[in-house]
Amino acid sequence: METLLALLIGVYLTAAVYLMISKHTIRLILGVALLSNGVNLLIFTAGRLTADVPPIIAYGSVVPAGPVANPLPQALVLTAIVIGFSFFAFLLVLTYRAYRDLGTDDSDHMKLAEPDGVRPPQGY
């Protein structure tokens, strides 16, 4: 099962990098969403897949009686899902506003919004 998930993670991350190097902002957003999902799957798989045994310790015991599911990767993935969704929503609104104001989603054409003669800082 881990081999199949490792291949799926590789496909997700490869597709994410391919989409993020595009010059269209919609593809960039989809690449960020795929990257987020790939990393979530990577964290979940790194926590070792076990049987559906909840991480509950019996009353009076100090340690679990047998093998249990690791709750830490599950908690990290749940938190990452919320953060990834909010970041995706922010990027979607930002891209929509840029498209509405500039009339394009091509990052090369968005350079027209830069003022002429103003160069970025060269150092500190």
Domains of the chain (ranges, CATH numbers): 2-113 (1.10.287)
pTM passes above 0.85: no
Average pLDDT score over residue span 55-76 = 80
Segment among 11-15, 50-54, 66-70, 99-103 with least mean pLDDT? 50-54
State the pLDDT at residue 71: 78
64: which 2 tokens?
């679990």
Cβ atoms of 25 and 90 within 8 Å: the answer is: no
Residue 40, number of CB atoms within 10 A of its CB: 20
